[in-house]
Chains A and B, each alone.
Chain A
């Protein structure tokens, strides 16, 4: 029922209305389905890390292809649908108004599911932009923007039609989410298409890195944190049947968090070629985040004062209390990792995925589980089917998560200590990178089995929720009544902030300003980095064949295991060579610095080994590096190089400012084929069949042999 009826009572108009709970049910079902998919993908790639053979030789399910699908499924499919379910349920009730438009709600739902399906149909095929957590190609990026606008119109339209003057704090967090995600997504996704499935980032090198991690960090902040905090502020009081502990603290929490979070992105780039001031700013703001994050955690936990006995027995409160506790732990660990001296140890190691999963499983999954138990019981007008199953689910998830975190801490600290160990003569104690890899493989097995525990817990929840829904009914539509909003609800003597809480559009503008200040200071200087990064004559654009090879490198997700930046740290320079400089990345659209070193850094790999070494390494890494955990890339030896788009690729690069001439663009294919012939000659000398000349492996070798050569080998 979507109609509204009204009766006048004195000066006030009493209206009756109903909520659109069907759309919430749809998002709830989608959350459960995509959650299982995301976890299944996570467990799959965790086992692939422990045993490289588990991709069964299939390119579509290799780690580099599936990892982006796992992260996209977990963040945008699972958490995304959970956010929409929770927001649509609480938003209507907090405002005492039905959602703005039922059709927009359906467009939002089906559009979002279509985007997720598009991700599933492109990422395993290597259709990716090569930017972490923003891998989807440009047509899908546009679809995301459009659907986000639909969501925003529906959301703000509901606010306009509300019957409650005050905008509750949960809705502030939703407002910040909607506005900031829009800004982040649009700015980071600016790219020029080469074809329907391929584009190049508008930014390059340091500039691209800063914008990517401004986005990447704030995707965590404004997709995995602020909306869930809003849900926390609604569902914990609701489930505990108690008001939030301190409303004033929630105001401080909101503004501090929204203002500070946006500045913290550069902590992902400490000790890189990013300007020092940006690194320091990222570190300071990350440490400052401790206060608002813990303010929110304290507020959430203290809301449970007086009802702790219920936490023991009520699945909703149990999951939510655990979620808030994990939120506290991961928001303690995050700023700690952002301190330069700690980051020096932890960055590029497995400690980081351990930290990330304490947030996504501990905070997002646990809070979502609590919310789903609450919602399914309410929306299907019944009781939770089995509290016992929920209890088993809780402990399986908790034990699985502890296994995950502890194994990754152990692996990360082991890696770091081995990488940086230098003996009394000034040499690396473990000069072969593979020595560190072998040491941590047992931890990968522990992590994988931890993942199995979490996945099993989720399957139990699916069963429990299904049985709960099946025992209930959706036939009854509740009708509510509330007075229409009029001047009588205006608080004329209240303070400016209190008044502001009743003026949603002005509030939204101020929230937007809060995030734009940090954004401007952080990324505007980067947009003009061309003016302060002096181009080096020795650094030349990639040849056409190297461009083709670089695109294969991106397609296979090599950046997910190999970094391409040498930090100015003694052990890194000893291991890899000259530390990186900003000027050597100016033609890198997109940058490929990566964030993990499951394998060694490749910033100076060019010219380090002969072509034949790479040929053998890509066919079977164990042939040249015994006990390597890198999968085989046999398909590169069968698939032919795509020359058809090469001229267009160079043309786009030229548009982006890479100094190719018209002749370079015109002769791209001939130039590439000539370079392929040269590489073929060296390979044929080692008994490789001459047919290799047009195979993808040749293009990849061309690229690998070029990485870091211009500056790295320069005097």
Chain B
């Protein structure tokens, strides 16, 4: 019975598909993120918590 259930529900390809989906997405956003042209934009974004907006006098 145990073997029968496992043989019917066994999907060994599932973890591999999961890893492939993740690896593809991972490479894509690494590529987008580390493009040189974005460096100044990210440097600006880094400082966002430090600028709460100018106080109105």
Q: Are A517 and B38 in contact (CB under 8 A)?
A: no
**Given A251-B29, A581-B5, are A491 and B41 also a contact pair (CB < 8 Å)?**
yes
User: A248 is contacted by which of B22, B26, B42 (Cβ under 8 Å)?
Assistant: B42
Give residues of chain A (266-293) contacting chain B, Cβ–Cβ below 8 Å: 273, 275-278, 280-281, 284-285, 288
A583 within 8 A of B: yes
Interface residues on chain A, size class: 35 or more
User: In the complex, which residues of chain B have a beta carbon less than 8 angstroms from the beta carbon of A256?
Assistant: 22, 26
Q: Which residue of A lies closest to B26 (CB)?
A: A256
A686 within 8 A of B: no
**Given A276-B10, A480-B56, A481-B54, are A521 and B17 also a contact pair (CB < 8 Å)?**
yes
A649 within 8 A of B: no
**Given A93-B52, A481-B56, A495-B35, are A284 and B19 also a contact pair (CB < 8 Å)?**
yes
Q: Please measure, in the bound complex, the distance between the C-alpha atom of A525 and the C-alpha atom of B12, giving whole angstroms.
A: 13
Give residues of chain B (28-57) contacting chain A, Cβ–Cβ below 8 Å: 29-30, 32-35, 37-38, 41-50, 52-56
Q: Are B14 and A281 in contact (CB under 8 A)?
A: yes
User: A168 is contacted by which of B10, B35, B38, B48 (Cβ under 8 Å)?
Assistant: B48
User: In the complex, which residues of chain B have a beta carbon less than 8 angstroms from the beta carbon of A517?
Assistant: 21
Q: In the complex, which of the residues B6, B10, B29 has the most CB atoms of chain A within 10 Å of its own CB atom?
A: B29
Q: Are A275 and B53 in contact (CB under 8 A)?
A: no
B26 to chain A, nearest CB (A): 7
Q: Which residue of A lies closest to B42 (CB)?
A: A247
User: In the complex, which residues of chain A have a beta carbon less than 8 angstroms from the beta carbon of B35?
Assistant: 495
Q: Are A276 and B25 in contact (CB under 8 A)?
A: no
Give residues of chain B (1-27) contacting chain A, Cβ–Cβ below 8 Å: 1-2, 4-6, 8-12, 14-15, 17-19, 21-22, 25-26
Q: Are B54 and A482 in contact (CB under 8 A)?
A: yes
B38 to chain A, nearest CB (A): 5
Q: Please measure, in the bound complex, the distance between the C-alpha atom of A166 and the C-alpha atom of B48, giving whole angstroms.
A: 9
**Given A247-B42, A276-B10, A481-B53, are A252 and B48 also a contact pair (CB < 8 Å)?**
no
Q: Are B48 and A277 in contact (CB under 8 A)?
A: no
Q: Please measure, in the bound complex, the distance between the C-alpha atom of A281 and the C-alpha atom of B19, giving whole angstroms.
A: 9
User: A94 is contacted by which of B11, B48, B55 (Cβ under 8 Å)?
Assistant: B48
User: In the complex, which residues of chain B have a beta carbon less than 8 angstroms from the beta carbon of A532?
Assistant: 5, 8-9
Q: Are A480 and B54 in contact (CB under 8 A)?
A: yes
User: In the complex, which residues of chain B have a beta carbon less than 8 angstroms from the beta carbon of A251?
Assistant: 29, 33
A2 to chain B, nearest CB (A): 15
Q: Are A164 and B29 in contact (CB under 8 A)?
A: no
Q: Interface stretch among A234-242, A449-457, A587-595?
A: A234-242
User: B5 is contacted by which of A169, A237, A495, A533 (Cβ under 8 Å)?
Assistant: A533
User: In the complex, which residues of chain A have a beta carbon less than 8 angstroms from the beta carbon of B53?
Assistant: 93, 96, 163, 480-482
Q: Are B38 and A16 in contact (CB under 8 A)?
A: no
User: B38 is contacted by which of A237, A241, A280, A498 (Cβ under 8 Å)?
Assistant: A498
User: B49 is contacted by which of A238, A491, A498, A514 (Cβ under 8 Å)?
Assistant: A238
Q: Are A478 and B4 in contact (CB under 8 A)?
A: no
A89 to chain B, nearest CB (A): 10
A contact face: mostly helix, strand, loop, or mixed: helix
**Given A255-B25, A281-B18, A536-B1, are A247 and B37 also a contact pair (CB < 8 Å)?**
no
Q: Are B9 and A252 in contact (CB under 8 A)?
A: no
User: In the complex, which residues of chain A have a beta carbon less than 8 angstroms from the beta carbon of B38?
Assistant: 494-495, 497-498
User: A238 is contacted by which of B32, B46, B50, B54 (Cβ under 8 Å)?
Assistant: B50
User: A495 is contacted by which of B22, B37, B49 (Cβ under 8 Å)?
Assistant: B37
Q: Which residue of B lies closest to A500 (CB)?
A: B32
A703 to chain B, nearest CB (A): 25
User: B32 is contacted by which of A495, A581, A583 (Cβ under 8 Å)?
Assistant: A495
B contact face: mostly helix, strand, loop, or mixed: helix
Q: Are A583 and B5 in contact (CB under 8 A)?
A: yes
Q: Which residue of A lies closest to B34 (CB)?
A: A248
A260 within 8 A of B: yes
A534 within 8 A of B: yes
Q: Are B14 and A259 in contact (CB under 8 A)?
A: no
Produce 1/0 per residue, A208-246, CB < 8 A to B: 000000000000000000000000011001100101100
User: In the complex, which residues of chain B have a beta carbon less than 8 angstroms from the beta carbon of A529?
Assistant: 9
Give residues of chain A (147-197) contacting chain B, Cβ–Cβ below 8 Å: 163-164, 166, 168-170
Q: Which residue of B lies closest to A281 (CB)?
A: B15
A518 to chain B, nearest CB (A): 7
A263 within 8 A of B: yes
User: B41 is contacted by which of A16, A94, A494 (Cβ under 8 Å)?
Assistant: A494
User: B47 is contacted by which of A93, A243, A495, A568 (Cβ under 8 Å)?
Assistant: A243
A479 within 8 A of B: yes
Q: Please measure, in the bound complex, the distance between the C-alpha atom of A86 and the C-alpha atom of B22, giving whole angstroms.
A: 31
Q: Which residue of B lies closest to A93 (CB)?
A: B52
Q: Please measure, in the bound complex, the distance between the C-alpha atom of A529 and the C-alpha atom of B10, giving whole angstroms.
A: 12
Q: Please measure, in the bound complex, the distance between the C-alpha atom of A94 and the C-alpha atom of B22, giving whole angstroms.
A: 30
B46 to chain A, nearest CB (A): 4
User: In the complex, which residues of chain A have a beta carbon less than 8 angstroms from the beta carbon of B44?
Assistant: 166
A688 to chain B, nearest CB (A): 40
User: In the complex, which residues of chain A have a beta carbon less than 8 angstroms from the beta carbon of B45?
Assistant: 166, 168-169, 247, 501
Produce 1/0 per residue, A515-531, CB < 8 A to B: 00110010001000100
B56 to chain A, nearest CB (A): 4
User: In the complex, which residues of chain A have a beta carbon less than 8 angstroms from the beta carbon of B18?
Assistant: 263, 281, 284-285, 518, 521
User: In the complex, which residues of chain B have a beta carbon less than 8 angstroms from the beta carbon of A248?
Assistant: 33-34, 42
Q: Which residue of B lies closest to A164 (CB)?
A: B48
A66 within 8 A of B: no
Other contacts beyond A481-B55, A521-B17: 17, CB < 8 A: A93-B52, A166-B44, A168-B49, A234-B49, A243-B47, A243-B49, A247-B42, A252-B33, A275-B9, A275-B10, A277-B11, A284-B18, A480-B56, A481-B56, A494-B38, A534-B5, A581-B2
28 contacts between A and B (CB under 8 A): A16-B56, A93-B49, A94-B49, A96-B53, A163-B53, A166-B45, A168-B45, A169-B45, A243-B46, A244-B49, A247-B42, A248-B33, A251-B33, A252-B29, A252-B33, A255-B29, A277-B14, A284-B19, A478-B55, A480-B56, A481-B55, A482-B54, A494-B38, A495-B33, A496-B32, A498-B38, A525-B9, A533-B9
9 interchain residue pairs of minimum CB distance = A243-B46, A497-B32, A480-B53, A275-B9, A281-B15, A479-B56, A277-B11, A532-B9, A247-B42
